[in-house]
Amino acid sequence: MEDALIISKFADEHTREEAFGYLLKKYQQKIYWHVRRMVIDHDDADDVTQDIFIKVWRNLEKFREDSQLYTWLYRIATNECITFLNKKKQKHNVSLDDDSSAYLSETLADGHYFNGDKAQLKLQQALLILPEKQRLVFNMKYFEDLKYDEISEILGTSVGALKASYHLAVKKIEHFFNSND
Protein backbone atom coordinates (compact mmCIF):
# COMPACT_ATOMS: atom_id res chain seq x y z
CA MET A 1 0.00 0.00 0.00
CA GLU A 2 1.31 3.45 -0.90
CA ASP A 3 2.27 5.79 1.94
CA ALA A 4 -0.23 8.45 0.84
CA LEU A 5 -3.06 5.92 1.07
CA ILE A 6 -1.89 4.76 4.50
CA ILE A 7 -1.88 8.37 5.70
CA SER A 8 -5.32 9.12 4.26
CA LYS A 9 -6.80 5.91 5.74
CA PHE A 10 -5.22 6.78 9.10
CA ALA A 11 -6.95 10.17 9.03
CA ASP A 12 -10.33 8.41 8.94
CA GLU A 13 -11.06 6.99 12.38
CA HIS A 14 -13.03 4.11 10.79
CA THR A 15 -9.96 2.85 8.89
CA ARG A 16 -7.25 4.07 11.29
CA GLU A 17 -6.39 0.64 12.72
CA GLU A 18 -6.34 -0.96 9.28
CA ALA A 19 -4.00 1.78 8.01
CA PHE A 20 -1.70 1.38 10.99
CA GLY A 21 -1.60 -2.36 10.34
CA TYR A 22 -0.41 -1.65 6.79
CA LEU A 23 2.18 0.80 8.12
CA LEU A 24 3.47 -1.82 10.56
CA LYS A 25 3.60 -4.48 7.87
CA LYS A 26 5.53 -2.17 5.55
CA TYR A 27 7.99 -0.61 8.02
CA GLN A 28 8.21 -2.53 11.30
CA GLN A 29 10.98 -4.91 10.26
CA LYS A 30 13.07 -2.15 8.65
CA ILE A 31 12.75 0.04 11.72
CA TYR A 32 13.54 -2.90 14.04
CA TRP A 33 16.81 -3.62 12.22
CA HIS A 34 17.72 0.08 12.16
CA VAL A 35 17.21 0.15 15.93
CA ARG A 36 18.89 -3.21 16.50
CA ARG A 37 22.09 -2.08 14.76
CA MET A 38 22.24 0.87 17.14
CA VAL A 39 21.20 -0.63 20.48
CA ILE A 40 22.58 -4.14 19.76
CA ASP A 41 20.43 -6.10 22.22
CA HIS A 42 17.31 -7.81 20.80
CA ASP A 43 15.11 -7.13 23.84
CA ASP A 44 16.15 -3.46 23.91
CA ALA A 45 15.52 -3.19 20.18
CA ASP A 46 12.04 -4.67 20.64
CA ASP A 47 11.26 -2.19 23.43
CA VAL A 48 12.57 0.81 21.49
CA THR A 49 10.73 -0.28 18.33
CA GLN A 50 7.50 -0.58 20.31
CA ASP A 51 8.03 2.91 21.74
CA ILE A 52 8.66 4.24 18.23
CA PHE A 53 5.40 2.86 16.86
CA ILE A 54 3.46 4.14 19.87
CA LYS A 55 4.89 7.57 19.10
CA VAL A 56 3.99 7.13 15.42
CA TRP A 57 0.40 6.13 16.36
CA ARG A 58 0.06 9.26 18.50
CA ASN A 59 1.57 11.62 15.92
CA LEU A 60 0.74 10.31 12.45
CA GLU A 61 -2.27 12.63 12.19
CA LYS A 62 0.15 15.56 12.60
CA PHE A 63 2.46 14.31 9.84
CA ARG A 64 2.69 17.24 7.40
CA GLU A 65 3.87 15.22 4.40
CA ASP A 66 6.68 17.71 3.73
CA SER A 67 8.99 14.69 3.81
CA GLN A 68 8.53 11.06 2.87
CA LEU A 69 6.86 8.86 5.45
CA TYR A 70 9.84 6.53 5.80
CA THR A 71 12.25 9.43 6.44
CA TRP A 72 9.88 10.70 9.14
CA LEU A 73 9.79 7.20 10.67
CA TYR A 74 13.58 6.88 10.52
CA ARG A 75 13.98 10.30 12.14
CA ILE A 76 11.74 9.22 15.02
CA ALA A 77 13.59 5.88 15.26
CA THR A 78 17.00 7.55 15.24
CA ASN A 79 16.01 10.02 17.94
CA GLU A 80 14.55 7.22 20.07
CA CYS A 81 17.78 5.20 19.68
CA ILE A 82 19.93 8.14 20.74
CA THR A 83 17.66 8.82 23.73
CA PHE A 84 17.74 5.15 24.71
CA LEU A 85 21.53 4.90 24.42
CA ASN A 86 22.03 8.08 26.45
CA LYS A 87 19.75 6.73 29.21
CA LYS A 88 21.61 3.42 29.12
CA LYS A 89 24.96 5.21 29.44
CA GLN A 90 23.68 7.18 32.42
CA LYS A 91 22.26 4.05 34.04
CA HIS A 92 25.60 2.28 33.72
CA ASN A 93 27.52 5.35 34.89
CA VAL A 94 29.22 5.92 31.56
CA SER A 95 29.88 9.57 30.83
CA LEU A 96 28.12 10.78 27.71
CA ASP A 97 31.56 11.82 26.46
CA ASP A 98 33.03 8.35 27.08
CA ASP A 99 33.13 5.59 24.54
CA SER A 100 30.36 3.10 25.31
CA SER A 101 31.70 0.51 22.87
CA ALA A 102 32.98 -1.77 25.66
CA TYR A 103 29.50 -2.06 27.18
CA LEU A 104 27.80 -2.58 23.81
CA SER A 105 30.50 -5.05 22.75
CA GLU A 106 29.82 -7.14 25.88
CA THR A 107 26.11 -7.02 25.04
CA LEU A 108 26.87 -8.17 21.49
CA ALA A 109 29.14 -11.02 22.62
CA ASP A 110 26.68 -12.19 25.28
CA GLY A 111 23.64 -11.76 23.05
CA HIS A 112 21.90 -15.09 22.64
CA TYR A 113 20.00 -13.56 19.68
CA PHE A 114 23.16 -12.94 17.67
CA ASN A 115 23.41 -15.69 15.10
CA GLY A 116 25.96 -14.28 12.69
CA ASP A 117 29.25 -15.90 11.77
CA LYS A 118 32.69 -14.74 12.96
CA ALA A 119 33.02 -12.20 10.15
CA GLN A 120 29.65 -10.67 11.02
CA LEU A 121 30.58 -10.54 14.71
CA LYS A 122 33.88 -8.86 13.84
CA LEU A 123 32.08 -6.28 11.67
CA GLN A 124 29.61 -5.56 14.47
CA GLN A 125 32.52 -5.14 16.93
CA ALA A 126 34.21 -2.79 14.46
CA LEU A 127 31.03 -0.71 14.24
CA LEU A 128 31.00 -0.35 18.01
CA ILE A 129 34.30 1.57 17.94
CA LEU A 130 32.67 4.26 15.84
CA PRO A 131 31.18 7.38 17.40
CA GLU A 132 27.39 7.25 17.47
CA LYS A 133 26.89 9.60 14.49
CA GLN A 134 29.38 7.73 12.28
CA ARG A 135 27.76 4.43 13.22
CA LEU A 136 24.33 5.79 12.31
CA VAL A 137 25.57 7.08 8.95
CA PHE A 138 27.43 3.83 8.18
CA ASN A 139 24.44 1.67 9.11
CA MET A 140 22.03 3.71 7.01
CA LYS A 141 24.34 3.79 3.99
CA TYR A 142 25.82 0.29 4.14
CA PHE A 143 23.04 -1.89 5.57
CA GLU A 144 19.93 0.07 4.60
CA ASP A 145 21.30 1.36 1.30
CA LEU A 146 19.83 4.83 1.83
CA LYS A 147 21.02 7.68 -0.37
CA TYR A 148 22.94 10.57 1.18
CA ASP A 149 19.99 12.90 0.46
CA GLU A 150 17.68 10.60 2.44
CA ILE A 151 20.13 10.31 5.34
CA SER A 152 20.52 14.11 5.27
CA GLU A 153 16.77 14.53 5.63
CA ILE A 154 16.62 12.00 8.48
CA LEU A 155 19.58 13.33 10.46
CA GLY A 156 19.36 17.01 9.52
CA THR A 157 23.00 17.01 8.41
CA SER A 158 24.53 18.21 5.15
CA VAL A 159 25.34 15.67 2.46
CA GLY A 160 29.00 16.73 2.56
CA ALA A 161 29.22 16.07 6.29
CA LEU A 162 27.55 12.69 5.83
CA LYS A 163 30.00 11.70 3.11
CA ALA A 164 32.88 12.69 5.38
CA SER A 165 31.38 10.70 8.29
CA TYR A 166 30.92 7.64 6.10
CA HIS A 167 34.45 7.90 4.73
CA LEU A 168 35.89 8.19 8.26
CA ALA A 169 33.77 5.26 9.43
CA VAL A 170 35.02 3.07 6.57
CA LYS A 171 38.64 4.01 7.35
CA LYS A 172 38.16 3.17 11.05
CA ILE A 173 36.54 -0.15 10.20
CA GLU A 174 39.37 -0.99 7.78
CA HIS A 175 41.91 -0.10 10.49
CA PHE A 176 40.04 -2.30 12.99
CA PHE A 177 40.13 -5.27 10.61
CA ASN A 178 43.78 -4.71 9.67
CA SER A 179 44.94 -4.35 13.27
CA ASN A 180 42.98 -7.39 14.50
CA ASP A 181 44.16 -9.93 11.92
Mean pLDDT of 63-86: 92
Domain with CATH 1.10.10.10 in the chain: 116-181
The Cα–Cα gap between 117 and 119 comes to: 6
pLDDT digit string (tens) for 122-153?
888 889 899 989 999 999 999 999 999 999 99
Q: Are 10 and 16 in contact (CB under 8 A)?
A: yes
Classified by CATH at the fold level, domain 116-181 comes out as: Arc Repressor Mutant, subunit A (1.10.10)
Classified by CATH at the fold level, domain 1-96 comes out as: Rna Polymerase Sigma Factor; Chain: A (1.10.1740)
* CA angle (100 as vertex; 141, 132 as ends), nearest 5: 25
- DSSP classification of residue 141: I
Mean pLDDT of 64-89: 91
Instruction: Determine the pLDDT at residue 162.
Output: 96
Domain with CATH 1.10.1740.10 in the chain: 1-96
Instruction: Determine the pLDDT at residue 96.
Output: 43
pLDDT greater at residue 180 or residue 95 = 180
Q: What is the pTM of this model?
A: 0.81
Distances 179 to 122, 168, 169 between C-alpha atoms, Å = 12, 16, 15
pLDDT beyond 60 at 31: yes
The Cα–Cα gap between 59 and 119 comes to: 40
Q: What mean pLDDT, rounded, does the chain reach?
A: 87
